[in-house]
Structure 1
Amino acid sequence: MSKPTSKDPLHGITLETLLTQLVEQYGWEELAHHINIKCFSSDPSIASSLKFLRKTAWARQKVEALYLQSHRPMTDV
């Protein structure tokens, strides 16, 4: 019997990894432009952003959606 695989595209990716990759890709300024939350635009840091995102479901969902959009596998090519 094989182990069932998760259909969740974020399975195994921590919020910290996801956020770090977005910051590397976009930078804080552009990230704040995509997702208008204060922790990205006012003295941003990974630690303060993680603290906010872990407590704020709507903001975390926006970050996850941006990550999925920008890291979508190129399977349609």
Structure 2
Amino acid sequence: MNTSKDPLHGLTLEAIVTALADYFGWQELGERIAIRCFQSEPSVASSLKFLRKTPWARAKVESLYLFMLREQARQNKGR
């Protein structure tokens, strides 16, 4: 069995955007990554449409997702 060490392995972009929106909220997400699909009438659907066509923005979203995972791990460790 080949298991990937990549935390993004097997995750859809939709799952990543949804998790970020749930964790940070759309307003903070728009402040952390200044793209219109997070700032003006944000939705998962509009974000996916933009991010699939924009590699630099997708990279920022994936990076923020990894940061969120580290934050969650740190918070859980302190419990």
Q: Structure 2 length as normaliser, TM-score?
A: 0.85
1:56 aligns with one of 54, 71, 76: 54
Q: SS of the residue aligned with 1:71? A: helix
- CA shift, 1:4, in A, is 2.1
Dislocated runs of 4+, deviation >2 Å: none
Q: Which runs of 5+ in 1 are unaligned?
A: none
Measured on the aligned residues, the alpha-carbon RMSD in Å equals 1.2
Distance 1:71 1:19 in 2: 13
Counterpart residue number, 1:30? 28
Distance 2:39 2:2 in 1: 40
Q: How many residues align?
A: 73
Q: Structure 1 length as normaliser, TM-score?
A: 0.87
